[in-house]
Each structure stands twice: as C-alpha cells, then as structure tokens.
C-alpha cells in the first residue's frame, strides 16, 4: 500500500519525512538526482541525517549514485550517517558483480 503524505522535495523534505514517520512508515527509498556536489555534506544531507536521528524507527535507503568506478562519487544525500547508501549489483553475494555505473565510496570522511 502506498500512502501519500504532504510535502515536496527538496524544499519540504523534512516535513515529508516527519509526516511519513508519523504515518508509521518504517522504510523510505530515495533515488533522485540533485544539482549538488557529489560526496559532500550538503543541506540535503543534514535534513536526511536529522530526520534519521529524530525518527530511528524509519530507515532511509539512499541511492549511492551513478558515478561509476570513480572514488568519492557518491551522491550528496548518500553520505548520511543515519541511513544506508545502496548501490546497484547483479548479484548481492558477489561484490565484484557491482553494476559498472553504480557509485562507490569511500565517503568524504573516509567511512
């Protein structure tokens, strides 16, 4: 079942995530392209991190990005500390089967 909640991205993402948490959503998926520098702790990252901290029962899964095998090319929102960055793979059991377009780390802080 899909539940629509008020808010829009990115201006009201904090409102959207709060509404989702209050509605009982336990997992969110974010795969959007933003005009922000990659692998940076941006205002968008702050919003996702703060909401992840404020609503520990709601897990945010953020797309790592499509920067390919270039180190430090993760999307800005994928560097959050209170969520999971997700990359693309042909086989989840074999790390060498990562899809070639999927971004990789490490994050700007080395994690």
Element (H, E) at 28: strand 27-30
Q: What is the pLDDT of residues 99-109, one digit of tens each?
A: 888 888 777 77
Distances (CA, A) of 33 to 2, 9, 66, 75: 22, 11, 9, 8
Element (H, E) at 80: none
- The pTM assigned to this predicted structure is 0.76
d(CA 64, CA 76): 9
Torsion over CA of 80, 83, 14 and 66, rounded to 10 degrees? Answer: 60
Q: What is the pLDDT of residues 51-85, one digit of tens each?
A: 999 999 999 998 888 888 777 778 888 888 899 98
């Amino acid at each position: 079942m899909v539940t629509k909640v008020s808010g829009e991205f990115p201006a009201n993402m904090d409102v959207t995530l709060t509404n989702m948490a209050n509605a009982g959503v336990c997992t969110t998926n974010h795969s959007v392209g933003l005009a922000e520098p990659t692998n940076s702790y941006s205002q968008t990252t702050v919003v996702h991190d703060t909401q992840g901290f404020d609503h520990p029962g709601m897990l945010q899964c953020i797309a790592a990005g499509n920067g390919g095998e270039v180190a430090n090319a993760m999307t800005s929102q994928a560097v959050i500390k209170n969520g999971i960055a997700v990359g693309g793979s042909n086989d989840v059991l074999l790390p060498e089967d990562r899809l070639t377009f999927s971004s990789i780390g490490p994050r700007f802080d080395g994690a």
